[in-house]
Amino acid sequence: MNSSRSRHLSFLFFASFILMILLISTSYAQPSTPPLPDEEWNPPLEGPTWGQSHYEMAGWSTVHELTVWTADIDGNPKNQFNLDEKVYLYVDTPIQWIDNFMWMYEYHQTNMSSGSWRFCKVEIGFGRFMFGPFSPNEYQPSGNYTWKVWILEPESGEYQSEVINFTYTTVIPEFPKFSIGIILFLLSSFLILLKKMRKEILY
């Protein structure tokens, strides 16, 4: 009797463990890798909702088509950033779309056929939204970045998408003005000295 009960409890524990593993793997599953940015393709509505960064509403939209751009921490639009800067993504949804789901994929810099999902099926509603901050790639930080953003109006089943490009560059340090003055002074002194030495050699 006790042996049968123990086997039954062991089976229930094992089945619960397998079910938990399946639920976790399903929750974090990602859509398939999209094709190249300029090819027509839409992510499926089925699947988990998740994202790799914070987002918040940042105003009202006045556009009729999806509009996206990158900006710095102060909200200034730009597409070239230093490696120590954070990137923020702004998304304006069409004014006639009340409810929206959003996806964003980051393509690999050197191989557009690979990359990673940043957001999947995030419900953002209507308006202007700010996503971020985003940091450069850990293993290949500097270079050109390509993001593709999709939104879906679930009632009509209509998608819109837009591709955005920006660049992370290494900061080149600038010499202070006094340093440049010292360098010029030393250079001119060296040229004068060299000229005098040449005259002494000739005469």
For residue 147, give Cα distances in angstroms to 134, 176, 203. Answer: 12, 37, 70
Report how far Cα 90 is from the mean position of its chain's Cα atoms. 12
- pLDDT in the model for residue 170: 80
pLDDT score of 68 = 98
pTM of the entire predicted model? 0.69
Which residue stretches of the chain have pLDDT < 70? 1-30, 111, 113, 171-185, 190, 198-203
CA-to-CA dists, residue 46 to 29, 33, 49, 68, 124, angstroms: 11, 15, 9, 24, 17
Alpha-carbon distance 82 to 169, whole Å? 5
The tokens describing 78, both together, are 């730009």
For 31-169, CATH number? 2.60.40.2550
44-100 confidence digits (pLDDT tens): 988 888 887 788 999 999 999 999 999 999 999 999 999 999 999 999 999 999 999
Q: How far apart are CA 148 and CA 140, in angstroms?
A: 19
Phi/psi at 187 (nearest 5 deg)?
Answer: -65, -45
Cβ contact 60:93 at 8 Å: no
What's the pLDDT score for residue 142? 87
